[in-house]
Structure 1
Amino acid sequence: MKDLFLGGRLDAFIQQSSAAMAMFDREMRYLAVSGRWLSDYGLRQSPLGRSHYDIFPEIGEAWKAIHAQCLAGATLRSEGEPFRRDDGAVQWIKWEARPWRDNDGAIAGLILTTEDLTERQEQLAAIERLASIVTSAHDAIVSKDLHSTVTSWNAGAARLFGWSVEDMIGTSILRIIPPERRDEEDRILERIRAGERIDHFETVRMTKDRRRIDVSLTISPIRNALGEIVGASKIVRDVTERRRGETALRRSEVRLKQALAAAKAGEWEVDAASGSFFASDRALALYGLPPGTRLTREDALAAVHPDDRVRVRDALGRAIDEGSPFHSEHRALRRDGTTQWVVSHAEALAKQGPPRLVGLVQDITERKALEAELKETDRRKDEFIALLAHELRNPLAPIQSGVELFKMRDAGGDDRGRALLQIMGRQVDHLVRLVDDLLDVSRVNVGAIALRRRPVSVEDSIADAWSIVAEEAKRKPNPAALAIACDEPLLVDADPVRLTQVFANLLSNAVKYTGDDGRIRVAIERDPSGAAVTVSDNGRGIEPQFLPRVFDAFVRGGQGSARDDSGLGVGLALVKAVVELHGGRVEARSEGLGRGSAFVVRLPLAQSETAPPHPVEAPSPQPKMRSRALVIDDDRDVADSFVMLLQVLEADVRCAYDGASGVALAESFQPHVAFVDLRMPGIDGLETARRLRQRLADRTPLLVAVTGLGQSRDRARSREAGFDLHFTKPVSLEIVQQVLDRLRPDPVAA
């Protein structure tokens, strides 16, 4: 039997078969194999006579069970099954196992036929992966034949164009091409037929609802098994938003260039890591450099004015080291030797590692010139106001002195004369307040007012303010009534003199603009900001168009009629400035003419819960000792009236009309006090004070500056020159009496 088998046709058939075949006996020993079996399973030596399980020890129990079933008479097959090889690789196999019988019909073994499907399975998996990608892709993926008929249409295409798969398969691709662009399809197919691939072709396509959208197309030829081009596949990407962004960016760039040109600005960058420096042509032009000039960081710093260079270098170094913003106003030194002012600002781009500063530089030469001009204008304005105040105070001084003298001697005689003196006194006081307010507004604007803050009772301050304006209120036929409502005593952190000035201005306005039998109410209450003080009246109110400007300096006419608009229009401006200087705020309210007005002042509360005792003025004692007083003033009217005032106060007085004469007279007269004007021709008051101290040494009298100059710098200059006191004209009788009271003169001669 064996010889018959080995020489039989079955053995020859298996060996010559193109399929992978192997014949086994019942112990699974090889009896015959085909060449394909040897190659498919990597067998380099003949397996004949050897056990299949010895050659492939990785064969598991499942396969052994299949073999056993075949040896029992079953024929089994599989169209594809994975088989993990000993090296870990997975092999897909199509197989069939059937028994073979000997001449007696008994099962003598089995025959295995296999086909390696691994390559085909990998191709199928790749196709499935590609199909999954196409199906789930966000972009539209479409295929068509060479006649523009759609052959595939994924979900992305349905989303983009609005046409479903059923709508498009078998229809022309021209459905999504705008009529004016259909010639593009002919050109695309021509290139596809030539085997070309078309990348990122940007065009316009049309949706189901006729909207035009910007798209980018990537088109590739499709080939059949013979390599023939039978169609095209295309990926369609919606670039509408990108196009809009690009358009917006281009517009932004144009506007930026226009803005930079209008602002005379240029761009610059510095890279901290490499040290490279870039400046645009416009930035280079600011430094007088030709377009395209390449600069280093040191070159850029060299173009900064030497007086500003260290400051700019330090600021730039800090910005680079810390990644912080850079800002500098400095002078640029141009190559032609001229300078101009620039402002440069930059931001750091990198938050980690060496930053890259990106900035702008702008020509501010005109702005700097304008600022200098405005400063000079302000300086001249302040000088003019000071000069004006001085010139106004000088004639007021003898007038006030004369009024005081007449009052002291009862020179009015009858009631009419005394009434006339009171009118003159009130008008002089009014003029003095106007000049003081004018100077105070100027001082606030330049920050020259220093507050002497302490806890102040709001109620006491209101009372002090009313005492100042009460006389004005009494002059009306039917004076306005004042009502004060205070929920609780409140202390504010304030300068008492300035706070009284604020409320006096508000109460004075209320008196002025409230008619006969008017009502003025002051409400004091606590609110979240501190103390809120409302000064309201039922007077003429404020016209709506003037309400937003009521606190502007020199604005008049918003309250009442023209005949009521006395004053310079600085009172409310001063109120606002002083309140804000205290860290508070003030607002005006009115419902219009005839509806009254209200001013609300809000101030921070004091930390202390007690205020210093309210000062009580004691009557000035008459001098029991006779003082020697020297008056030095080039204005004879001022000097002579002041001499008469001092004489009434029982002082021994001498007078000089210039500084040199005053110094000479002082050496012989030996005064206890010298009242000296500051603005005098020749030797001015400051030099006069210096000479008096130099020549009289320890016999120097009390030096009192009496002048129309009252700004803080004037007081500082008089103090430096040696003056003990500084008063602005006109000096009241009360102040002169206080000065004489502080002296220790000789006893009055018997």
Structure 2
Amino acid sequence: MDDSGSPEGRSLPPRALLAAIVDSSFDGVISKTLDGIITSWNAGAERIFGFTPDEAIGRQITMLVPPERLNEEGWILERLRAGERVVNFGTVRVRKDGRRIDVAVTSSPVCNLLGEIVGASKIVRDVSDARAAASALAQSEARLAAIVDSAMDGIITVDALGRIVVFNDAAAAMLLCPSEQAIGGTLDRFLPVRHRQHHASWMTGFGRSGTTSRAMGRPGQIDACRADGTEFPAEASISHVEVNGEQLYTVILRDVSELRGAQTARRALEAQLREAQKMEAIGTLAGGIAHDVNNALGAILGNAALAKEDLPAGHAACKSIEQIDVAAQRARAVVRQILAFSRRQAQELVVQPLAPILIEGIALFRSTLPTIVRLQSCPPSDDLLVRADANQIHQVLLNFCTNAWHALRGSSGQITVGAERVNLDRSEAFALGGLEPGAHAHLWVTDDGCGMDEQTRARIFDPFFTTKPRGEGTGLGLSVVHSIVQTHAGAIVVKSEPGLGATFSVYLPEPAEVARPEAAAAAEGEVKGEGRCVAYVDDDEVLLLMVERLLTRRGFQVLCFSDPDELLDRLCEKPSEADVVISDFNMPKMTGIELARKIAQMTPNLPVVVSSGYISDEMREDARLAGISALLEKEDVLEKLVPVLSRVLAAANVETIQVERRD
């Protein structure tokens, strides 16, 4: 003990002082021989395990070890014989009543004055109820000093005046204060300033309470302060003992900064997991409802278009039909938003000009815009190409434009949509999130609305974040945009200030120009059936009738089937009657892909098109392996069915000619 300790501390025999400290410890302190025979047993050990010293001393330490963990004791003894410590070893031990408890054990070799290892000490902490304590027990002054000095937790003892009389090496390292500077000083220097005024009265009250030991804080956690002023969370236990009429208080301190950080990281991971599970649930829901909803949307859009064709120009019902079409288009956009947000929407990245995509998106948005809002467009040159999914770029534009419209808050204003080619140097590309330098397509939407503050800008891409009133926004729109731009290997930038409007910019890498084959362009322009026969199978009667009317008006002959077995029977009787087969994917008896496999066995050269309300990447792969000519989304039947049939039939004719020439 340092001579700078208090007069009261020096008046105590060192052995009595250390023995009192050990016996009053809140933790179990046990010493044993190198053969595992218990040689001392403190009150803390009795509290934890239920054995009295008479029942424990002289017995093997293995009486506390479950049978399946006996190998641990041998391993610990080998480490101790080698002069090594076993620090904070988490394990399970058995009480006298047979109950198993979780404990943290620190074992250290004990040496005599000659430096010979003559035994071992254990500090046992019961962590089942989150109590924190540490101490040591030994039979001689050298052993007691070794236990205190070898402890990994800080052990600090103060007298009744609050002056430190014991300050072990672990406390010195933890609190960044050498023992010689700490002993004789006050304990409250290691407490945050805000707690110091209450510390003295708390210690006095604890001494008068008659309690000999207590965990501090809840549950045993406090804020401690290092000598350099930095604070850290700690687990602490305090014990009180009277030795030769002197009141002594021993605090055992453990730094739990890493544990607290691990708990914080765990909570963050749990939050991420919950968010991922929520997104997965949305994706599952989206995939489940997309088929049925898109079936209905395809029928609504198709029948609305056919009805409009049946009516003379200027008929009173035309406006109602136009509103039906607008509402169905909005519903289709919502389904696509949910699919894109949940990453369940399959992508078709194609090198194509950006200008037509921009023009189509502006036309679609213009039909929903009030007349008081001016919409200005600045389309790019026709040679500006992007590798993109046109439908998803439409979603980006519609979300940007819709947010711009809402930012006007019902007043007049202007929205500008444009695109241009920009060349990003290395620093500009890096500032945009690590894009590759070079040519990019810059797409932007600008408004002169209310603008956003910094806090709002920081959260606008968060899922479910919205500034709109309840019921007017889902908070998904800009999250969808962010997801789409990321999957297109692009970057997104927002510039806005309150009252000064906002500009949303998207940068997409420009691919090398790809020439568009003339044959493909001609096939896409073909819109007449010229009497070719289409076999169409779908269990939805509404779609069956709608597609039949649509194809008949375009010059096709149509054979309709509500049961795939009926189609197979017809093909068996007349294998060359149909030029192409269109099948729904989701049918009661078999899927469209299963039907295509059976058709391939019967008539290998007959092309098959499969339509579905929800097309996943897995479905695309299965369709490719089954030899299906094309996949078609149900809600796009009106716009894409005839062009798809034209391409498929043109490809089939080319293949037939090649086969005949080889023969």
TM-score of the pair, normalised by structure 1? 0.45
**What is the TM-score when the length of structure 2 is the normalising length?**
0.50
